[in-house]
Amino acid sequence: MSAAEVRRFLERHGLRANRDLGQNFLCDPELAGRLVELAGVTVDDTVLEIGAGLGILTRALAARAARVVALEVDSGIVAALRAEGALPANVELRHADALTEDLAGLASVRGPVRLVANLPYAVSAPLLRRLLDLRGLLVDWSVMLQREVAARLMARPGSRDYGSLAVLHRFTTDVSQELRVSPGRFFPRPKVQSSFLRIRPLPEPWIAPGELAAVERVVRAAFGQRRKQLANALRGSQLWTGESVALALRAAGVDVRARAESLDARTLLEIARSLPPVPQTVP
């Protein structure tokens, strides 16, 4: 489906790309097939797809996987795909928002489950965080992201992109960039480059089951005020006293003048474990 064909499809159904939903439709079937290969999809897999769009990637997934459950938040797109019978029989198309849908329930099926998505740029960060909670159910997840978000995901200490997103993924996953994708592969043409990443749960994650939420509070507080020294940022969150922060930094061997962006994930994890737990009632 070329960009012109995408335009005609939308016009037939009185639709247009919704900027608020971050819609940039993949319009290159050859690239879709390549993405399926890079995602490691096999004939035994159930694949969850977030953002079916016009079904280009959905059809490529269905050609390889046993079953595809495709989520699409735009009711008009869902109606158009159903009206044209555009998807194969092994695809279940759902009108659903991936930010609120029971993804764990969808992933709790017999056999291997993977997730593949052309993530809407506007909501990619919260969706990536949701996927971390599915790491015990998914073989892996492969996602198309705005290149700037991909850079944040893979950033290392000391870089301007380094922050909580990178640290939380480092605790639990291995992230690899599989492909860079130019704007011309989408309609409408985005103003940014894209990256296709494959994210695999670590066989031995750094954190214990149920620990991520508690550690996340510390990490987000640490990076919440990037210009501040770590000690001041943690105290400023009002979740811990100055004394408890000082003790945690000392236990981790961290200078009180250090900033979060200069510390690796191992050190941040050590600090998090040295701080008193925060009651669950605290947001």
Q: Give the pLDDT confidence of 119-141 residue by residue, as tens digits.
A: 887 789 999 999 999 999 999 99
CA distance 167 to 154: 9
The number of angstroms, rounded, from the C-alpha of 173 to the middle of its chain's C-alpha atoms is 12
Among 87, 83, 135, 99, CA closest to 22: 99
Residue recorded with tokens 């159910």: 137
- In Å, how far are 106, 192, 202, 219, 262 from 113, measured between CA atoms? 9, 30, 16, 29, 36
Average model confidence (pLDDT) for the chain? 93
Which pTM value belongs to this model?
Answer: 0.92
pLDDT at position 142 is 98
**Residue 18 pLDDT > 90:** no
Q: In the predicted model, is pLDDT for residue 211 greater than 70?
A: yes
Residue 280 pLDDT class (50, 70, 90 cuts): low
Tokens of 242: 């100055």
Classify 51 in phi/psi space as left (phi over 0), alpha (psi -120 to 50) or beta.
left
- Give the pLDDT mean for 203-214: 93
Other Cβ atoms less than 10 A from the Cβ of 130: the count is 17
Q: What is the pLDDT of residues 104-117, one digit of tens each?
A: 999 999 999 999 99
Distance CA 188, CA 168 (A): 32
Instruction: Tell the residue number behind the tokens 């990076």, with chain if given.
Output: 223
Dmax over CA atoms of the chain, in Å, equals 65
Q: For residues 202 and 212, give the distance between their C-alpha atoms in angstroms, rounded to a whole number.
A: 14
Q: What does the radius of gyration of the chain's CA atoms come to, in whole angstroms?
A: 21
For 62, the token pair is 């269905």
Residue with the larger pLDDT of the pair 179 and 25: 179
Please, which residues have CB within 8 angstroms of residue 21's CB and are 6 or more apart in sequence?
Answer: 73, 74, 120, 122
Cβ neighbors of 34 (< 8 A, separation 6 or more) are 179
Residue 182, Cβ neighbours under 10 Å: how many?
A: 12
Range 63-82 average pLDDT? 96
With beta carbons less than 8 A apart as the criterion, state whether 256 and 246 touch.
yes
Task: Report how far residue 2's alpha carbon sits from residue 90's, in angstroms, rounded to the nearest whole number.
Answer: 24
For the chain, domains (ranges, CATH) are 3-201 (3.40.50.150), 212-274 (1.10.8.100)
25-26 and 91-95 beta bridge pairing? unpaired
Give the integer Cα–Cα distance in Å for 69 and 216.
Answer: 30
Q: When comparing pLDDT for 122 and 85, which is higher? A: 85
